[in-house]
Structure 1
Amino acid sequence: MSTTAPSAGAQPFVLTRRRINLIFTALVAGMLVSSLDQTIVSTAMPTIVGDLGGVSHMAWVTTAYLLASTLVMPVYGKFGDLFGRKNLFLLAIALFTLSSVVAALSPTFEVFVASRFVQGLGGGGLMILAQAIIADVVPARERGKYMGPMGAVFGLSAVAGPLVGGYFTDHEALGWQWCFWINVPVGILALLLGTFALKLPAKRNHARLDVAGVVLLSATTTSLIFFADEGGSAGWTSGVALAWLAALLVSAVGFVLVERRAAEPIMPLSLFRTRMFVLPTALGLVLGLGMFSAIGFMPTFLQMASGTSAADSGLLMLPIMAGLMLTAIGSGLAITRTGRYRAFPVAGVALVGAVMAWMTTLSGDTPLVTIEIMLFLLGAGLGLVMQVVVLVAQNAVPATQLGAATATNNYFREVGATLGVAVFGTVFTSRLTTGLTEALGGNADQAAAAGITGPDTLVPQAVHAAGEPLRGSIVGAYADALAPVFGYLLPFFVIGLVLALLFRTVPLSDVAGMVARGEAVYEGGIGGEGATPLGAGATAAVVPAQAGGPQAGGPQEEELGSSSAPGPRHRR
C-alpha cells in the first residue's frame, strides 16, 4: 500500500473545537436524512403500492433498501480507510437525494423499487461514514457525548418518520410523494454543509482493491437477505429458501478464503482476533435480532388495541424515543466524564431483557398506560447499549482500520435485524392468522355486519367500530400472537447479557484517529492538553507536528488467545 502524506512544509490539518463542531453538524444532517427515510415510508406504504400497482410485491420496497444499504456498508468502511471519507460522504448524500427525486416522480412500481435500491446505496454510506468520521476527529475518551446525540437521531426518526409520512399521505394536497420530496431540501442542506463544513485532509492511495472480496461479500449478503425473505414467506424448507441457503454457505466460505489472502481485505479477518471487537460486534448482532423484531411488531398491535390510524398510532411510540434519547445522551456524557463504559451495556441488556419478559404478559386487556411504560423502559435499555457497542469496537482496533471496524460492527447488527424480523415475523404471522380466524369464526354475524370478511381485510378503524365482543377477540388474538414472540427472544438477551459481562475495561483512547495516523494535530487541549498521546492504534508516543507519514500501529486490545494484554498508555 502506498499512501501520500503531507509534505514536511505543508500546513498541518489542525483539529479545533469549532472545526469538530462544524463536522458534527454536517454528519448529523446526513444521518437525519438517511434515518428519517427508513421510517417515513412505513405509514405511506399501503397508499404507495396501491397507487403504483404493486400490492402483491410490497415487501420489495423494504427489501430493496435493506439489501442495498447492507451491501455497501463494508465497502464504504474500507474505501474510507483507504481513500478518505469526505468525498464518499458527499457521494452518499448525492445518491440519496437524487434517488428521492426519482422515487417521488416514479411512474411505475418497478421504477419506485429501483429508486429505493439506490437510496439504500446512499443511506448505508451515510450511517457508516458518519460514525467513522467522528472516530477520526474525536478521541474515544470524548466520543460518547457525540455518539449519544447521533443515536438519539435514530430514536427521533423512528417516531417522527411515521408521523410525517402519515401526515403527507392523509392530506390530498400533498400526497405520499412528499415523503420523498422532503428529502430534497434536507439533502441539499446536508450536501452544502458537507462540502463547506466537512473539512478533512485529502488522502490518495494506490492500494490494490479487494474486488473478489466485494463480490463474494455482496453475494453472501444478498443470499442471506433473500433466504430470510423467502423462508419467512414460503417456509424455511421450501426449495427456493434452501437454494438461497446453499448460495449463502458457498459464498460465505469463498469470502473467508479470499479475505485470508487479500492485501487490503474489505473486511479484515484480523479484526476477529481482537476480543474487545468481537464481543461488542456479537452483542450488536444479538441486539439487532431482538430489538428490531420487538419494535417492528408493536405498532400493529397498538393500532388494533387503540383503534387509531397508522399516523396517529405513531404517537404511541413516543415513549421509546423518549427513553432512548434520555439514556443515549446521558450515558454518552457519563462515559466522557468518567472514561468507564462497561456498566452501560450490562445494564442496558438486562433492562431490555426484563422488559421483554414483562411483555410476555401482554393481553387484550393490558392497559395502554402499562404498554407505554414498557415501551419507555425498552427505549431506555436500548439507549444504554446501541452507541456503546460501536464506541468499544472502534476503541479496540488500529486507527488505520476505523472505517472497516465501524462498518463490520454495523453490518452484523443489520444481519441480526434481517434474521430476527424474518424468523420471528413468521412465528407472529402464523399465530396471528390462526387466532384471527378463530376470533372471526366465533363472531361471524358481528364480523359480517362490520364488513370484516377475513383476516386480510382487517383495519384498525373497522375493528374499533365493530364493538364488543368482536373487538376484544381480535385485540386478544394480536396479543396472544405477539406475547410469545417476546418470550422466544429472551434466550438471545441472556446471550447478550453474557457477552456484555465479558467486556473488559480497556481504557478509552484520548487521541483521535487522524492524529494517531499522523494526518492531523490538535489545537490547545483537544483530546490531550496540547500533547499527542497514544490512542486508537498507536503503539508509541508520536508528535505529528508538520511532517511525517501515518503514525498507527497495532491494536490497543489483546488478540484472542494472547497470554498477555498490555494496554495502551494514556495520559490522565
Structure 2
Amino acid sequence: MSHRQIMEALSGLLLGLFVTILSSTVVSNALPTIIADLHASQTTYTWVITGTLLSMTITTPIWGKLADLVSKKLLIQLALVIFVVGSAIAGQAHSPAMLIAARVVQGLGAGGLSALVQVIMAAMITPRERGRYSGYTGAVFALATVGGPLIGGVIVDTSWLGWRWCFYVGVPFAVIALIVLQKTLHLPVAKRKVKVDWLGATLFSGAAALLLLWVSFAGDKYDWLSWQTAAMVGGAVVLAVLFVVAETFASEPIVPLKLFRIRTLSLSTLASLFVGVAMFGATTFLSQYFQLARGDSPTKAGLMTLPMIGGLAIASTISGRIVTSTGRWKSILVLGAAAMTVGYALLSTVRYDTAYWQAAVFMFCVGAGLGMTMQNLVLCVQNQVRPQELGVASSTVSFFRSLGGAIGVSALGAVLGNRITHYMTEGLARIGVHASGNGGSLPKLSALPAPVRQVVQDSYGHGIGNVFMYAAPCALIAVIVILFIKEVPLRTSNAQEPPTGAAPSMPVTDASVRGRHAQHREPELVSAGVRNPIPANGQVTAPMQAYASAEMGQPPAGGMIRGLVRNGGAPVPHAVLTLIDVSGHQIGRATTGADGRYALPAPGSGTYVLIAAAGDHDPQAATLVVGDQPVDFDVTLNGSGGLAGLVRSVDGTPIEGAMVVVTDARGEVVAGGTTDTAGGFLFPAVVPGVYTLAVSATTYRPAAMPVEVGGGQIRQEVELLPGMQVRGTIRAEGRGPIPDARVTLLDAAGNVVGVTTTGPDGEYAFTGLTGGQYTVTATGYPLVASGIHLTGQGGDAHDLWLGHPAE
C-alpha cells in the first residue's frame, strides 16, 4: 500500500480510536462530579473504571482471535456499534449499578477498537515502517486525552448540559468513523470456519472477576484475612488453572500458550502487565487529585494534566520516527519505562499544596515514558510472529496491559479509599471534629466549612501521593523485564517467507562493485501475468517497455520520470524500476546504469506507481502524479539483510580465493564461500542475528571475529596478517640433501602442529604459523630435534643435519 492509501485507511481507524480514548478521558475528569451526584462511594468510583477495563481485558483476546479468522473491517465496525450502544445506556444511568453495567458494555466495544487498530495496522504496514505510523497513533491518543478532560470539564461546569452529555459526545464521532471505514478500509478476508474459545473466555472472566472483587472489598467489607478472602482467592486460582488446561486442549485457544515459547512475547506481556498497573492505576486518580486535593474545577483539572499529555505526544511521535529510521526499539523501551518510574517516584511526593510547576514536571516524565512504551511493546512482538498470528499476538499484549490496568485501578483504588479514611479521621480529630460515617461518598468541597475542607484536601493529596508511591515499583519491574528482552531489528516486510509463486532469480555477475560476490542475484519481476526476466548479463542500458495487452501498442507521448537510485548516498547500479498504472497494469520498466540513474517514459498525464528493486535491497514503491513536464524522483533503497565484505592483506591488496565461513551461536555453519578476484564476499541469505565470521587463506594467518547482522546489509572488512613460515633443508654428512625425510613441527606444549616430508631437494616448509616457541624434528636417520623461536613475520630458515644411521 502506498502512503496515501495507508493514511486513508488510517483515517477511519484513528477516528475510532479517538472515540474510545475521548469517552474514557471525558468520563474520568467528570467522575468526581458524577459519583457525588449519584451519592456513590469511592468503591463505585473505582468500579466505574474497573468495569470498563475488565470487560475490555476479557474481550481483547477474543477480538484478536476473530481478527485472524474473519473480516477485520466488519469486526471494527461491530465494535464501534457496541460502543455507541453502551454510551447511550450510560447517558441514561440513574444509579451506580446501571452506570457500571453501561460502562461494561462500553468496554466490550473499546476492547475491540484497541485490539483491532493494532491488528489492522500490522496487516497494512511493515514492522520497520510501523514506528512512523505509530507516531500518528500517539498523536491521536494525545489529542483525545487533551480534548477529553477539557470537553468533560466544560460539560460538567455548564448547567444546561449536565454530566450525561459526557457519554453522548463520542456518538457523532463513532458514526463518522463507521462511514469513513466503510469507504477507505479494504483488506483481504480470511475464509475459514470461525471457532472461538468460549470456555477459555468464561474461565478467565470468572478468575479475573473474583480477583478484582476481592481486591476491591478486602479491608472494607471484610478483613484481608477472612473466609471471604480464602474463598475468592482460592476460586480465582482454581479457575486460572482450569483456564490453562482448557487452553492446552482448545483447537483455537483464546490465548495460544505456544506463543509464550517466544521469549520476546513472554517478556513483553509481563512488562505490559506492570505498565498497565502503573499507567491505568495511577493516572486514573489524577482528576481526583486536582479536583478534591487542590479544589480545582473540572475544566481547570483538565488543563492541569496537559504536561503529561504533552510528554506523551512528543515522546510517541519522536520515538516512532527514531524506530522507523534505525529499526532499533529496545533503547526506546528501556528509556520510556525508566522515565515512567522516575515520574511516579516524584509524583509520590505531591500533596495538596505542592507547587504546580513541580507536579507538571513530574507528569511530563510519566507521559514521556508512556509514549515510548505503549506502542513499542506491541511492535516488538508483532516483529517476531507469523503474519497469521498478528491478531492474537497483538491482542495478547493489549490483554495483559488491560489486565494490569484493571488490577491496578482496583487495588490502588482500595488503597486510596483506605488511606483517605485514615488521614481524614486523623485530621478531623486534630481539629476536634468527630468523623461521622458518610458511607465513603465523595465530598463536595464547596459545601464544607474551611477547616474541614482543608483536612479533606490534605487527606486526598496525601492518599493520592501514596497511590503514586505504589505505582513506581511496578514501573521499575517493567524496566527490569524489558532489559531481558533480546532486540531483533525490525523486519521490512510483513511476511516471513517469499510470496507463493514468486519467480526464480537470474544470476548476475557484477565484478565492478567492490566486495560483491559473484553469486549476487537480481530479482525477476512479474507483472500483469507477463514475465519479463532481466537478461543474464544484466547489461540493460536503454529503458525497456512492456505492456499488459497487445492492443496498447506504442505508448503515446507523455511525461518522463527520471532520477537516481541510491543506498545511503551511494548509487545502486542495475536496480530494476517498474511503472504500473492504477489498475495494476505494467506500463514500463528500466534498469539503472553504473551511476544509479534511470529514465522511464509515462504514456500520459495521470497517477502511477513506481516500484524499485535490487537484489540485496528492500523494494520500495511510491505514487507519482505525472503531467506534461518531466518528474524528477530519487529513490532510496535500504539493505534487506545479509553479510558482505572485503578480505585484504596488511598492505591493502585484495586476497582472492580466501575461505569465508559464517557460524551461528551454536557453532553451526550458516554460510560459506570464497572471495572473488576483488577480495569481496556476499552472503545475502544471512538473517538478522549475532554470528562468528572466520576467514582463512594460504600463507596468511586465519582470523575470526563476531559480527551482528541487522535489518540492513552489514559490510565487514577483514585484514589478514601474513603467516609466519619455517622452511629449511634436511642434510646428512657426506650425502647432502635427504629426500623423503619425515619432518614434524611441535608447539611449546608438545602438540603436533604439522607433519611433512622433504622433497627430492631435501627441503620442507610449514606456513601459516603464529609467533612462539616451536620444535622441529626430522627422522629417517637417527632422530634430530632443534628448537626455534618465531618472533617476526615472513619466513625463517632452519636447516637440520642428520647423523649416519647406526651400523
TM-score by structure 2 length? 0.59
What's 1:512 paired with?
494
The answer to which of 366-375 and 315-324 deviates more is 366-375
Whichever of the two has the greater Rg, that structure is 2
Distance, in Å, in 1 between the alignment partners of 2:501 and 2:188 is: 7
Q: Does residue 152 of structure 2 align to residue 165 of structure 1?
A: yes
Letter of the 1:157 counterpart: A
What's 1:179 paired with?
166
Distance, in Å, in 2 between the alignment partners of 1:333 and 1:29 is: 21
Q: Does residue 49 of structure 2 align to residue 81 of structure 1?
A: no
**C-alpha displacement of 1:254:** 1.2
1:418 to 391, 402, 406: 406
What's 2:114 paired with?
127
1:38 to 24, 38, 42: 24
1:327 touches 1:380 (CA, 8 Å); kept in 2? yes
The answer to which of 386-395 and 490-499 deviates more is 490-499
Cα distance per residue 1:92-145 (max 9 Å; x no partner)? 011112332333345666554443222211111000000110011000101011
Distance, in Å, in 2 between the alignment partners of 1:557 and 1:215 is: 41
**C-alpha displacement of 1:444:** 3.7
Q: Does residue 14 of structure 2 align to residue 28 of structure 1?
A: yes
What's 1:316 paired with?
304
2:200 to 206, 213, 218: 213
List alignment gaps of at least 5 residues for structure 1. Answer: 1-14, 536-554, 559-565
What's 2:619 paired with?
528
Question: Which is helix-richer, 1 or 2?
Answer: 1
Distance, in Å, in 1 between the alignment partners of 2:501 and 2:87 is: 35
What's 2:362 paired with?
374
Q: How large is the Cα RMSD of the aligned pairs?
A: 3.6
The answer to which of 210-219 and 510-519 deviates more is 510-519
Q: How does 1:170-569 map to 2 (within 5 A)?
A: 170-206=157-193, 208-231=195-218, 233-234=220-221, 235-444=223-432, 458-461=443-446, 466=450, 474-512=456-494, 524=610, 528-529=619-620
Cα distance per residue 1:73-99 (max 9 Å; x no partner)? 000001101123111111101111233
Q: Greater relative contact order (Cα 8 A, min sep 6): structure 1 or 2? A: 1
Distance, in Å, in 2 between the alignment partners of 1:426 and 1:102 is: 27
Question: Which is strand-richer, 1 or 2?
Answer: 2
**C-alpha displacement of 1:341:** 0.9
What's 1:544 paired with?
none
Distance, in Å, in 2 between the alignment partners of 1:173 and 1:271 is: 53
The answer to which of 244-253 and 402-411 deviates more is 244-253
Distance, in Å, in 1 between the alignment partners of 2:418 and 2:81 is: 41
Letter of the 1:314 counterpart: G
Cα distance per residue 1:349-390 (max 9 Å; x no partner)? 222222233234334543121111111121112211111111
The answer to which of 507-516 and 316-325 deviates more is 507-516
Letter of the 1:459 counterpart: K
Cα distance per residue 1:307-341 (max 9 Å; x no partner)? 21233212111110001100011100111111111
Distance, in Å, in 2 between the alignment partners of 1:460 and 1:107 is: 23
Distance, in Å, in 2 between the alignment partners of 1:149 and 1:516 is: 29
Is the partner of 1:384 in helix, strand or coil? helix
Distance, in Å, in 2 between the alignment partners of 1:289 and 1:328 is: 20
Paired residues, what number?
A: 526
Cα distance per residue 1:517-562 (max 9 Å; x no partner)? 8799996559732599999xxxxxxxxxxxxxxxxxxx9999xxxx
2:70 touches 2:194 (CA, 8 Å); kept in 1? no
Is the partner of 1:288 in helix, strand or coil? helix
Distance, in Å, in 2 between the alignment partners of 1:46 and 1:299 is: 8
Letter of the 2:25 counterpart: T
Letter of the 2:168 counterpart: W
1:137 touches 1:513 (CA, 8 Å); kept in 2? no
2:128 to 125, 131, 141: 141
List alignment gaps of at least 5 residues for structure 2. Answer: 503-526, 528-583, 585-608, 613-617, 622-636, 642-686, 691-706, 714-807
**Percent sequence identity over aligned pairs:** 34
1:309 touches 1:461 (CA, 8 Å); kept in 2? no
What's 2:657 paired with?
none
Distance, in Å, in 2 between the alignment partners of 1:254 and 1:453 is: 42
Distance, in Å, in 2 between the alignment partners of 1:121 and 1:386 is: 21
1:236 touches 1:242 (CA, 8 Å); kept in 2? no
Distance, in Å, in 2 between the alignment partners of 1:435 and 1:152 is: 39
Is the partner of 2:218 in helix, strand or coil? helix
In structure 2, do the counterparts of structure 1 residues 406 and 308 end up closer, same or farther at CA, with 3 Å as the change threshold? Answer: same
Is the partner of 1:264 in helix, strand or coil? coil
Q: How does 1:59-98 map to 2 (within 5 A)?
A: 59-98=46-85
Is the partner of 2:251 in helix, strand or coil? coil
2:36 touches 2:441 (CA, 8 Å); kept in 1? no
Is the partner of 2:188 in helix, strand or coil? coil
2:294 touches 2:352 (CA, 8 Å); kept in 1? no
Is the partner of 1:174 in helix, strand or coil? coil
